[in-house]
């Protein structure tokens, strides 16, 4: 049985999109970057902690595999998590405006005697945005609960000048990499 250690509706939709049958596990993992921790290490650690917390919940289930994932927006070595409020979202989007940032997604798949990881890094270039465009976008509320304060699958798609990498990864779950991890673990094609 496959479990997704995430409350993200986007991750649920993406995993269902590729035909994976799974159950949801509610885990609470602090998402705090340690001093001096490289951004990629931070994203990997959080994803692994989510998978590990989920595995503890289903450890007695034979054959249980738990997916833990984390996605973060990184600019100038600053990790942009989810905005705390509208002012935080405005600040994030203002910094992203007219610049290229990285989106790092890491997926861990854990089970009894099984541990595998996949990393997907994408580059996203935002158009230059006016303060009015940013304020109007933040007013929609779409920015909340999203790393970097934007949803590439929503209205913010109009801000993206260029994407080099994985669209699904920027949404929160790199599907190619996740499918590869699952095939490797289950021996399916």
Query: In whole angstroms, what is the distance from residue 44 CA to residue 60 CA?
Result: 25
CA dist 189 and 183 (Å) reads 6
Q: How confident is the model at residue 187 (pLDDT cuts 50, 70, 90)?
A: confident
- What's the pLDDT band for 189 if we cut at 50, 70, 90? low
Q: How far apart are CA 167 and CA 5, in angstroms?
A: 21
DSSP symbol at 19: T
**Are 89 and 148 contacting, i.e. CB atoms less than 8 angstroms apart?**
no
Q: What is the predicted pLDDT for the residue at 77?
A: 93
Selected catalytic residue, list 23, 26, 41, 70: 70
Q: What is the mean pLDDT of residues 62-80?
A: 96
Average of per-residue pLDDT across 14-24: 95
pLDDT at 59 over 80: yes
Name the pTM for this structure.
0.93
pLDDT exceeds 80 at position 188: no
Backbone Cα Rg of the chain:
17
Q: What is the DSSP letter of 62?
A: T
Tell me the average pLDDT across 20-40: 95
The full set of domains in the chain, from first to last, is 2-186 (3.90.950.10)
70 part of the active site: yes
- The proportion of the chain whose per-residue pLDDT surpasses 90, expressed as a percent, equals 94
User: pLDDT, tens digit, for every residue of 112-166?
Assistant: 989 999 999 999 999 999 999 999 999 999 999 999 999 999 999 999 999 999 9
Model confidence band, residue 178 (pLDDT cutoffs 50, 70, 90): very high
């Amino acid at each position: 049985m496959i479990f997704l250690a995430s409350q993200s509706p986007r991750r649920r939709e993406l995993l269902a999109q590729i035909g994976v049958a799974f159950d949801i596990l509610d885990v609470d993992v602090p998402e705090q970057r340690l001093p001096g921790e490289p951004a990629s290490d931070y994203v990997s650690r959080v994803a692994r902690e989510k998978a590990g917390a989920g595995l503890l919940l289903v450890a007695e289930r034979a054959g249980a595999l738990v997916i833990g994932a984390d996605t973060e927006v990184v600019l100038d070595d600053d990790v942009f998590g989810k905005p705390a409020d509208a002012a935080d979202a405005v600040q994030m989007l203002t910094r992203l405006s007219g610049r290229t940032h990285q989106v790092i997604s890491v997926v861990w798949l854990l089970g009894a005697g099984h541990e595998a990881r996949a990393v997907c890094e994408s580059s996203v270039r935002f158009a230059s945005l006016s303060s009015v465009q940013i304020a109007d976008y933040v007013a929609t509320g779409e920015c909340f609960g999203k790393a970097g304060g934007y949803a590439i699958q929503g209205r913010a798609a109009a801000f993206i000048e260029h994407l080099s990498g994985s669209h699904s990864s920027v949404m929160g779950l790199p599907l190619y990499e996740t499918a590869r991890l699952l095939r490797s673990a289950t021996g399916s094609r």
